[in-house]
Amino acid sequence: MSQDLLNKVSEKLNTQFGADVLLAELLYDFPMFTIHHHKIHDVLSFLKNDEELNFHFLTDLTAMQTEDEKHLGVIYHLHNMMKNYRVRVKTFVDMSHPDVPTATDLWPGANWMERESYDFFGVKFKGHPNLKRILNVEEMDIFPLRKEYPLEDQSRDDKSDKMFGR
């Protein structure tokens, strides 16, 4: 079922967007697509409005930082409730220009989720109506979930990365 969905969606995306679909894979039985950040809004809009796929529901939107600490990723979980299709769409941007077009025009519910991602990682959602911090204080000048801000005191060596198998 998930394999079929992966094939179906990647076929449609490939004909429509070609090389901008960087990766299509099945991870733990969940179809996942990595899209070039220039085309992410078009892809989301296509997935939402395509008659057959109709991913009308934005389940989740969140951000992450890549392991090289040079890129930020934005992850969308989309859902078609009628056919019970779920896909994950990812896009990566450079940390020096973390600009991603907003999805609030497609789903108003993306508003706070994008604010949260901005608050934690500093992803700048272009066109967002009210992009400011939501959970942290407005005066905060860092993006706390980035890996450059470790949780523990730097002088402690009992909780260094090697203690966690990395």
Residues that bind other proteins (CB under 8 A): 27-28, 30, 32, 56-60, 62, 64-65, 67, 75, 77, 81, 84, 86, 88, 107-113, 116, 120, 134-137, 144-145, 151-152, 159, 161, 164-166
The nearest distance, CB 50 to other proteins, in angstroms, is: 17
Region for 48 from its dihedrals, namely left if φ exceeds 0, alpha if ψ lies in -120 to 50, beta otherwise:
alpha
CB-based contact 101:126 (threshold 8 Å) = yes
- Of 43 and 61, the one with the shorter C-beta distance to other proteins is 61
Q: Rounded to an integer, what distance in angstroms lies between the CA atom of residue 4 and that of residue 31? A: 10
- Of 15 and 158, the one with the shorter C-beta distance to other proteins is 158
Q: Rounded to an integer, what distance in angstroms lies between the CA atom of residue 25 and that of residue 118? A: 27
- Of 38 and 156, the one with the shorter C-beta distance to other proteins is 156
The nearest distance, CB 18 to other proteins, in angstroms, is: 25
Tokens 């992450």 belong to 64
The nearest distance, CB 165 to other proteins, in angstroms, is: 5
- Of 97 and 166, the one with the shorter C-beta distance to other proteins is 166
- Of 16 and 62, the one with the shorter C-beta distance to other proteins is 62
The nearest distance, CB 59 to other proteins, in angstroms, is: 7
CB-based contact 63:92 (threshold 8 Å) = no
Q: Which residues of 59-81 are buried (b: 16+ CB within 10 A; e: fewer)?
A: eebbbbbeeeeebbbbbbbbbbe
